[in-house]
């Protein structure tokens, strides 16, 4: 059975450094910057024929943020979280969006959310009663921070999440391997609350200039707050538009933001279907391109690795004369 | 023009028994000549129905005449037995034999001219095949472009959906293992990957650590930010002991602004860290209800203690009770009178 044999290394890149001396976002250079310098081919690619080994300290507290809304934070949280659960890691996903709760919808668990973090703080229930365990993968749990009509007490936001994370670390069944926090859009109180307990961040962006500007701003805030391990996922990539130079390539986005690449998710109409059905994309059989990309991103997240090569669409191979007859 | 004029057949066979009656001559010869009439110029036909006539050729003068006589009959085969060995006739026979061999070989030109009509048909077939293949390729490309992305047919073409799944005839895929993906194929020669019907090339990442450091420095200069610790509604006054840089102003309708914190922070933390037992509020409510019940029970007991069953009558209030009873009696009497009159009237009528 053929498999994607891409070998991961944590070694430094073998590429030659490019000459970058000014801010690419504020310079007057054209938007779509193409790097004309040819690089030597990279040998290291990602390895898929083994279970990923957990790197870093447990639990890994990851916040998924973007700044701009609608780029795919919640979708990324759901799919990456379930991919991690499929790999065998225990995952707790926290929907830190106050007032606009969506993560439970994507996971298909909206009817099972009875208690939220607000009820835990108020003493209406315990923390383990507020955790919703996914029946498909028992090592995946969801915690919503509040219901749409209930409010989190002012000033408690960041502290409440810190208490939650501490409580999860010391729970009787053991600390989870991953705590993934779905951050709300914007950079206001909700964002500040969500990033409080995080050690690392995944920045989700799309290859358009508005999302890039917001992503750059959010990256600056995260670095000011002390989060240095920031990786990027480029979502909704259209390889046909990149070929026609109507969209920035993944490498262009990386060059503008200067962040390590965790994954490049292609545009896929299955995302909408999976959202409406409450069935995450990574569970589809057969898997879609976007689902495969999410799995690969989860694999790299576990090993604290980043992409060393990007897939660029090419023309299909030319067939021989006799293929006309065979089809 | 090919034709077979004569066929010479050398045989040692003895035809004495069958032919001897007529000819009265034994033909021990070593030479038997079959002379046939050409029926068809193009083909050599051996007809077994011809009559074999054996004539005795004694003198050299007579055989030609006899042969000439029999030449008029088309179906007559003349068997000529000649005497032995005259050497000049041998050389003549060999020459004639050689001549007959050459004339029997069909010329190549004649064969080519015969097959000239088939070449056109072969060319037409080849041209038709090429045309069909070209048209088919064009139609396939056109249909591929016209098919909307994301449609079921497009998904089937891309390999993301199996056509048998919709008809319920496909076997289930064993895809519980995310590591071995049958839909990802690597090309061993080039650095290409085929996934879901599309071919991709691996392009190396160009970002270096030095570039990353440059970007971090740029952002640290551009974005100076302190984590806010105090959230104030718009319009509120700033407390004196709070750093203004750590204040975050939020709108009045923000969830943080509309919530009144009626719970102590320590209590909230305790609630979060609780691992077992009844949650605080539930317990508090339960205790409150318990107290209320106890209070009610105590009150009942108190009531029960003060009122003795034996002396219950002493505590009755006859006046009130009596006035009530008298009132009731009066009402009953009035009702009885009314009913009694009515009944008496009825009895009178009956």
H or E, element range at A137: none
A284 or A197, which is more confident?
A: A197
Q: Is A223 in contact with B281 (Cβ distance < 8 A)?
A: no
pLDDT at B299: 87
Taking the Cβ of residue B325 and every Cβ of chain A, the question of whether any pair is shorter than 8 Å is answered with: no
pLDDT at B183: 59
pLDDT at A220: 94
Q: How many CA atoms lie within 13 A of A321 on its CB side?
A: 3
Taking the Cβ of residue A152 and every Cβ of chain B, the question of whether any pair is shorter than 8 Å is answered with: yes
Residue A180 phi, psi dihedral angles, 5° rounding: -110, 125
Task: List chain B residues with CB under 8 Å of A156.
Answer: 261, 265, 268
Q: What is the ipTM of this complex?
A: 0.77
What DSSP string runs through B176-205? Answer: --SSS-TTEEE-SSSSEEEETTEEEEEEE-
Quote the minimal CA–CA distance from B132 to chain A in Å. Answer: 9
User: Which residues 2-61 of A are in CB contact (within 8 Å) with B?
Assistant: 2-5, 12-13, 15, 17-18, 20-21, 23, 35, 39-42, 45, 48-51
The residue-averaged pLDDT of A231-256 equals 91
Task: List chain A residues with CB under 8 Å of B207.
Answer: 13, 254-255, 258, 260-261
Q: Is A257 in contact with B226 (Cβ distance < 8 A)?
A: no
CA distances (Å), B67 to each of A134, A232, B127, in order?
A: 115, 113, 60
Taking the Cβ of residue A98 and every Cβ of chain B, the question of whether any pair is shorter than 8 Å is answered with: yes
- DSSP β-ladder status, B6-9 and B32-35: antiparallel
pLDDT at A50: 73
Q: In the structure, what pLDDT confidence band is assigned to residue B242 with cuts at 50, 70 and 90?
A: confident
pLDDT at B233: 74
Mean pLDDT of chain A: 81
Q: Is A172 in contact with B275 (Cβ distance < 8 A)?
A: yes
Q: In the structure, what pLDDT confidence band is assigned to residue B190 with cuts at 50, 70 and 90?
A: low
Q: Is B279 in contact with A125 (Cβ distance < 8 A)?
A: yes
Report the alpha-carbon distance of residue A21 to residue A35 in Å, rounded: 14
Q: In the structure, what pLDDT confidence band is assigned to residue B167 with cuts at 50, 70 and 90?
A: low
Report the alpha-carbon distance of residue B237 to residue B234 in Å, rounded: 9
Q: Which range has highest mean pLDDT (A69-78, B102-111, B225-234)?
A: A69-78
Q: Is A255 in contact with B206 (Cβ distance < 8 A)?
A: yes
B30 or B293, which is more confident?
A: B293
Q: Report whether pLDDT(A230) > 90.
A: yes
| Strand arrangement, sheet containing A140-144 | A132-133, A140-144, A91-95, A178-182, A60-65, A200-205, A229-237, A260-266
Quote the minimal CA–CA distance from B243 to chain A in Å. Answer: 15
Q: How far apart are the first and last CA of chain B?
A: 154
Quote the minimal CA–CA distance from A326 to chain B in Å. Answer: 10
| Residues pairing with B78 in the sheet | B35, B53
**Residue corresponding to tokens 């719970």:** B263
Q: What is the dihedral of CA B5, B9, B15, B16, to 10 degrees?
A: 90
Q: In the structure, what pLDDT confidence band is assigned to residue A159 with cuts at 50, 70 and 90?
A: confident
Q: Is A39 in contact with B204 (Cβ distance < 8 A)?
A: yes
Taking the Cβ of residue B333 and every Cβ of chain A, the question of whether any pair is shorter than 8 Å is answered with: no
Tell me how long chain B is: 350
Q: How many CA atoms lie within 13 A of A22 on its CB side?
A: 6
At B38-71, the pLDDT tens digits run 444 444 444 444 454 445 444 444 444 444 454 4
Q: Report whether pLDDT(B339) > 70.
A: no
Q: Is B137 in contact with A324 (Cβ distance < 8 A)?
A: yes
pTM metric for this prediction: 0.59
Report the alpha-carbon distance of residue B165 to residue A278 in Å, rounded: 21
pLDDT at B87: 53
B158 or A285, which is more confident?
A: A285
Report the alpha-carbon distance of residue A278 to residue A255 in Å, rounded: 35
At B314-333, the pLDDT tens digits run 656 655 555 545 555 555 55
The tokens for A232 are 């990027």
pLDDT at B184: 61
At A119-156, the pLDDT tens digits run 898 889 999 999 999 988 899 999 998 876 665 555 56
User: Which residues 120-149 of A are in CB contact (within 8 Å) with B?
Assistant: 120-129, 146
**Residue corresponding to tokens 């975050």:** B248
Please answer whether residues A200 and B236 qualify as being in contact, where contact means their C-beta atoms are separated by less than 8 angstroms.
no
Quote the minimal CA–CA distance from A286 to chain B in Å. Answer: 6
pLDDT at A180: 97
At B254-281, the pLDDT tens digits run 666 655 556 778 888 888 999 888 888 8
**Residue corresponding to tokens 């996914």:** A134
Task: List chain B residues with CB under 8 Å of A153.
Answer: 259-261, 263, 268
The residue-averaged pLDDT of B151-171 equals 62
At A160-198, the pLDDT tens digits run 899 999 999 999 989 999 999 999 999 888 898 899 999
Residue A61 phi, psi dihedral angles, 5° rounding: -105, 110
């Amino acid at each position: 059975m053929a498999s994607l044999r891409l070998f991961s290394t944590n070694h430094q890149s073998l590429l030659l450094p490019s000459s970058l001396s000014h801010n690419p976002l504020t310079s007057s250079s054209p938007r779509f910057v193409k790097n004309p310098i040819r690089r030597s081919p990279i040998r290291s690619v990602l390895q898929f024929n083994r279970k990923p080994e957990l790197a870093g300290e447990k639990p890994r507290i990851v916040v998924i943020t973007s700044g701009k809304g609608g780029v795919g934070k919640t979708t990324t949280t759901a799919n990456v979280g379930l991919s991690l659960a499929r790999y065998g890691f225990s995952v707790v996903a926290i929907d830190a969006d106050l007032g606009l709760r969506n993560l439970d919808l994507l996971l298909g668990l909206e009817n099972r959310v009875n208690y939220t973090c607000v009820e835990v703080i108020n003493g209406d229930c315990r923390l383990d009663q507020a955790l919703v365990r996914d029946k498909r993968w028992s090592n995946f749990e969801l915690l919503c921070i509040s219901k749409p009509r209930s409010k989190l007490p002012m000033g408690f936001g960041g502290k409440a999440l810190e208490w939650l994370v501490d409580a999860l670390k010391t729970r009787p069944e053991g600390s989870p391997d991953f705590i993934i926090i779905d951050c709300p859009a914007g950079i206001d109180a909700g964002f500040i609350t969500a990033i409080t307990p995080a050690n690392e961040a995944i920045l989700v962006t799309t290859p358009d200039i508005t999302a890039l500007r917001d992503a750059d701003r959010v990256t600056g805030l995260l670095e000011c707050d002390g989060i240095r391990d920031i990786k990027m996922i480029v979502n909704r990539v259209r390889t046909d538009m990149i070929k026609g130079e109507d969209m920035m390539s993944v490498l262009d986005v990386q060059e503008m933001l200067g962040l390590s690449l965790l994954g490049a998710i292609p545009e896929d109409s299955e995302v909408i279907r999976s959202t409406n059905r409450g069935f995450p994309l990574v569970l589809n059989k057969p898997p879609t391109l976007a689902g495969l990309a999410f799995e690969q991103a989860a694999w790299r997240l576990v090993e604290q690795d980043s992409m060393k090569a990007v897939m660029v669409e090419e023309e299909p191979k030319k067939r021989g004369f006799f293929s006309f007859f065979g089809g | 023009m090919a034709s077979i004029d004569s066929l010479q057949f050398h045989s040692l066979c003895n035809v004495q028994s069958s032919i001897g009656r007529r000819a009265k001559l034994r033909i021990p010869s070593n030479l038997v000549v079959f002379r046939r009439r050409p029926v068809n110029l193009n083909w050599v036909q051996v007809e077994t129905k011809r009559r074999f006539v054996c004539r005795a050729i004694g003198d050299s003068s007579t055989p030609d005449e006899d042969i000439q006589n029999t030449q008029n009959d088309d179906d007559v085969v003349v068997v000529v037995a000649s005497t032995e060995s005259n050497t000049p006739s041998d050389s003549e026979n060999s020459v004639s034999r050689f001549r007959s061999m050459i004339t029997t070989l069909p010329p190549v030109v004649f064969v080519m001219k015969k097959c000239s009509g088939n070449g056109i048909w072969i060319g037409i077939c080849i041209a038709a095949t090429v045309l069909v293949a070209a048209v088919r390729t064009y139609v396939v490309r056109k249909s591929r472009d016209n098919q909307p992305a994301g449609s079921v047919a497009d998904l089937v073409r891309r390999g993301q959906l199996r056509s048998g799944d919709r008809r319920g005839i496909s076997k289930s895929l064993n895809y519980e293992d995310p590591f071995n993906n049958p839909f990802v194929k690597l090309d061993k020669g080039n650095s290409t990957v085929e996934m879901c019907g599309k071919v991709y090339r691996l392009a190396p990442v160009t970002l270096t650590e030095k570039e990353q450091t440059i970007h971090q420095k740029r952002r640290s200069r551009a974005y100076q930010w302190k984590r806010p610790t105090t959230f104030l509604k718009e319009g509120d006054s700033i407390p004196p002991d709070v750093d203004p840089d750590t204040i975050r102003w939020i709108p009045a309708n923000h969830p943080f602004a509309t919530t009144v914190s009626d719970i102590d922070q320590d209590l909230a933390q305790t609630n979060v860290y609780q691992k077992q037992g009844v949650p605080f509020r539930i317990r508090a409510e339960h205790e409150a209800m318990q107290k209320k019940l106890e209070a009610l029970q105590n009150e009942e007991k108190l009531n029960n203690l003060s009122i003795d069953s034996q002396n219950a009558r002493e505590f009755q209030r006859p006046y009130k009770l009596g006035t009530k009873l008298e009132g009731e009696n009066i009402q009953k009497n009035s009702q009885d009178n009314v009913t009694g009159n009515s009944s008496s009237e009825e009895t009178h009528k009956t």
